[in-house]
Amino acid sequence: MKNIFTLLLIISCHFALAQQKSVELKLRTFKSKNNNVDSLMALNAIKLANLVLNSQEFRDSIGKYDFKCENYGEACSSDRIKGSVILDSIYRNSTFELDLLMKNCITEYGHSEEGKNYIQSCYKKLRKDDKKLPFSYIYAYHICHEYMHIVGYYHTDHKDDVAEKVGWISYHILNRWYDEKRNLN
């Protein structure tokens, strides 16, 4: 009886994991105006962003929050957006191709727009604000943040902002993985 119970548990866990939604960000094009960032680094950053966005740790972290309706470009059914709705937005498309542009600017972190496929990033500003992590990690959490704008979230205030929260959660996950020296290859 114990073996049957164990087998049923294993099967149900595999089924639950197979049913779990995910997203795969893919690099469609990459251009860089900075010699420190090449297409290999961009690919690595996208890989890291995928690992974060699809991790159970990320799902659990976002799932416990809710946000002001003003974050969202579409009409909300209430004044708050549940974390589960945020996750549904992230995983709406199973794959999503990105056009990445790396610039040298220092006045902003980057830019993206709802429904578009591009993320513009500013190397000097991103690097200036985080000197600890390898740049591919910094670029990864920036991609996670900007992807939230692409799926329809706008900035409100820092304490109740979907894109900001996703960026910070992604940063903390990647920072911990780096400190733990996890093999992310």
* CA pair distance 111, 147, nearest whole angstrom: 10
| Bridge partner list, 158 | none
Kindly give the interhelix angle for 135-150 and 162-179, rounded to the nearest 10 degrees.
160
| 3-state helix vs strand vs coil in the chain, percent to 5 | 50, 20, 30
95: DSSP letter: E
Kindly give the interhelix angle for 56-63 and 162-179, rounded to the nearest 10 degrees.
140
CATH topology of domain 21-179: Collagenase (Catalytic Domain) (3.40.390)
pTM for the full predicted model:
0.86
> Using one digit for the tens of pLDDT, what is the confidence trace for 97-149?
999 999 999 889 999 999 999 999 999 999 998 889 999 999 999 999 999 99
